[in-house]
Amino acid sequence: MTINTLAKGGCHREQMACFRKMEKVIVAMQDPDMGMKMRNQRLLITVIPHAMTGHDIIAWLTHKYRISEEESLHLGNMLVKYGYIYPLKEPRCLVLRPDESPYRFQVRPLTIYLAKKNIRKQGELMEYEKERYSLLHKRINHTWDFVVMQAREQLRASKQRRKADRIVLECQEQAYWLINRPPPGVNNVLDTGLERPNNFSCRVTLVSDFIIEACRKALGRNRVKSSICLEGFLKYSEQYLNHDPIMQGCLPSNPWISDDTAHWTMNAEIVPVPTRLRVERWSFSFMELLNDAMGRREFMTYLEKEFSAENLYFWQACEDIRHGESSKIVEKVEDIYKNFLAPGAARWVNIDSKTMDKTLEGIKRPHRFVMDDAQMHIYFLMKKDSYPRYLKSDLYKNMLAKAIVPQETKKSVFPFMRRQRHSSPSPAQTATQAAEEEGLAKGAGANSAAGSHF
């Protein structure tokens, strides 16, 4: 009962898996005990045997897969779209209707149908059907005579069949046609996008080597017990639950619902007073604090009080090398050496001697990752020492205390009135303006202090 696609040479891998699964569903539907109850369905004045109604199909799917009716309708629609079930009423429209419309299971191949149609109603083929017909003719020229003979035979036989059977056959074939050669403007369900032909497993020895190497490494790795790891996910999701607008909403309102951008304005990169949720988030992890521009600024203020701000400046400069242009690496490494590592440097950082030696050695041949070890050392120093103390400091506690908790915007009294959706300046625009201003300042001869733009 597999679909015979004439267009593609072979069935796409992904589609094969889908077809097999759909066939399983169809087979289950046709099961004599647990399957669908087929009966005679009325179509105008004709009675069609072994058919089922759209309503029945949906009910069966809902029961069998324990899903909602909406989802059954969706799944049933897919079965119709791919031709496993075809409609007897309105055969040109491959849609599942959740009513008394009759449907049947599909069986027949395409070619014979086309030939029959052509023979029977010369000139009644639609334009796109005619094209396909002639194409097919060209393709299977040598077997054409056989096909035509078959078609004639079937027509002869069908004239003697009851009207019900004829209607059924026509609908079957019509459905098949619609799927394999959809009329212009209709989705082609057999369209699978780009081919993915590449497979390099012919290089067997190379692959085996890779696998063996990878396996050996993997065997040696440290693994953590599942119970510990999985608890980690629970904790994370719980911690961030209040911060997840899709789960818990957001204050004062979700801009996409209310058309009010207050939420975004309040949480802009730099604001006079941050929101409470935002300041709380800084306490979740050191990375959260550093990733937030305001958080980083606050932390810098704290470090300056502690006379260890050079650590953060150093870390920022290292980040700049790692993520910056290749062409600027050498000059940036030199700057870092001058400012942070050289004896007597203005912002000398305290790195252990082993790392310092290794870094100084590496600077002789600077590359993108030459500062990595030193950067890691300083990062973990800040994380283990300065960060926990910052969270206990008055600076942080005051920030938390005066942080805003926005009031929930009550839903509009007039729900049909839509707020005007204000546009915002594009980041590209602000960047251009900033660059222009900087250019003007430079032009005027003003001293622009070299510093990191964080």
Residues 421-450 that bind another protein (CB under 8 A): 421-424, 426-429, 431-432
Binding part of the chain for another protein, among 34-42, 388-396, 402-410, 443-451 by CB under 8 A, reads 402-410
How many beta carbons lie within 10 A of that of residue 133, not counting itself?
Answer: 15
Residue whose C-alpha is closest to residue 151's, from 178, 114, 108: 114
Q: Which of 6, 150, 152, 240 binds another protein (CB under 8 A)?
A: 240
Mask for 23-62, x = binds another protein (CB under 8 A): --x-----------------------------------x-
Q: Identify which of residues 121 and 223 has a Cβ nearer to another protein in the complex.
A: 223
Nearest-approach distance from CB 132 to another protein, in angstroms: 23
Q: Identify which of residues 234 and 444 has a Cβ nearer to another protein in the complex.
A: 234
Q: Judging by beta carbons within 10 Å of its beta carbon (0-12, 13-18, 19+), is residue 277 exposed, middle or buried?
A: middle
Q: Identify which of residues 105 and 286 has a Cβ nearer to another protein in the complex.
A: 286
151 sits in the region (left: phi over 0; alpha: psi -120 to 50; else beta) called alpha
Q: Which of 143, 208, 301, 452 binds another protein (CB under 8 A)?
A: 208
Q: Which of 6, 38, 78, 300 binds another protein (CB under 8 A)?
A: 78
Q: Does 71 bind another protein (CB under 8 A)?
A: yes
Nearest-approach distance from CB 52 to another protein, in angstroms: 19
Residue whose C-alpha is closest to residue 298's, from 394, 424, 187: 394
Q: Identify which of residues 157 and 273 has a Cβ nearer to another protein in the complex.
A: 273
Cis (ω within 30 of 0) for the bond into 182? no
Task: Please give the DSSP secondary-structure letter assigned to residue 50.
Answer: E
Residues 110-131 as b/e (b if ≥16 CB within 10 A, e otherwise) read bbbbbbbbbeeeeeebeeebee
Distance CA 41, CA 39 (A): 6
Q: Identify which of residues 44 and 428 has a Cβ nearer to another protein in the complex.
A: 428
Q: Identify which of residues 292 and 298 has a Cβ nearer to another protein in the complex.
A: 292
* 285: amino acid identity, one letter: S
CB 404 within 8 A of CB 276: yes
Dihedral angle computed from the Cα positions of residues 9, 176, 51 and 164, in that order, rounded to the nearest 10 degrees: -130
For 48, the 3-state DSSP assignment is: strand
* 343: amino acid identity, one letter: P
Binding part of the chain for another protein, among 38-46, 108-116, 250-258, 300-308 by CB under 8 A, reads 250-258
Distance CA 430, CA 154 (A): 73
Q: Which of 209, 306, 334, 437 binds another protein (CB under 8 A)?
A: 209
Phi/psi at 22 (nearest 5 deg)? -65, -40
Q: Which of 107, 229, 342, 346 binds another protein (CB under 8 A)?
A: 229
Strand (E) or helix (H) holding 119: helix 110-120
Binding part of the chain for another protein, among 33-41, 116-124, 223-231, 348-356 by CB under 8 A, reads 223-231
Q: How many residues bind another protein (CB under 8 A)?
A: 109
Binding part of the chain for another protein, among 94-102, 135-143, 255-263, 309-317 by CB under 8 A, reads 255-263
Tokens standing for residue 35: 């399957």
Nearest-approach distance from CB 437 to another protein, in angstroms: 15
Q: Does 2 bind another protein (CB under 8 A)?
A: no
Q: Which of 6, 38, 47, 74 binds another protein (CB under 8 A)?
A: 74
Nearest-approach distance from CB 83 to another protein, in angstroms: 15
Q: Judging by beta carbons within 10 Å of its beta carbon (0-12, 13-18, 19+), is residue 423 exposed, middle or buried?
A: exposed
Any idea how long the chain is? Answer: 454
Residues numbered 260 to 319 that lie near another protein (CB under 8 A) are 261, 263-264, 267, 276-277, 280, 286-287, 319
Nearest-approach distance from CB 435 to another protein, in angstroms: 10
Tokens 């300041």 found at: 279
Tokens standing for residue 322: 């790692």
Distance CA 275, CA 256 (A): 19
Q: Identify which of residues 218 and 270 has a Cβ nearer to another protein in the complex.
A: 218
Tokens standing for residue 239: 């911690």
Q: Identify which of residues 163 and 402 has a Cβ nearer to another protein in the complex.
A: 402
Q: Which of 27, 230, 273, 342 binds another protein (CB under 8 A)?
A: 230
Nearest-approach distance from CB 391 to another protein, in angstroms: 16
Residues numbered 356 to 395 that lie near another protein (CB under 8 A) are 368-369, 372, 376, 379, 383
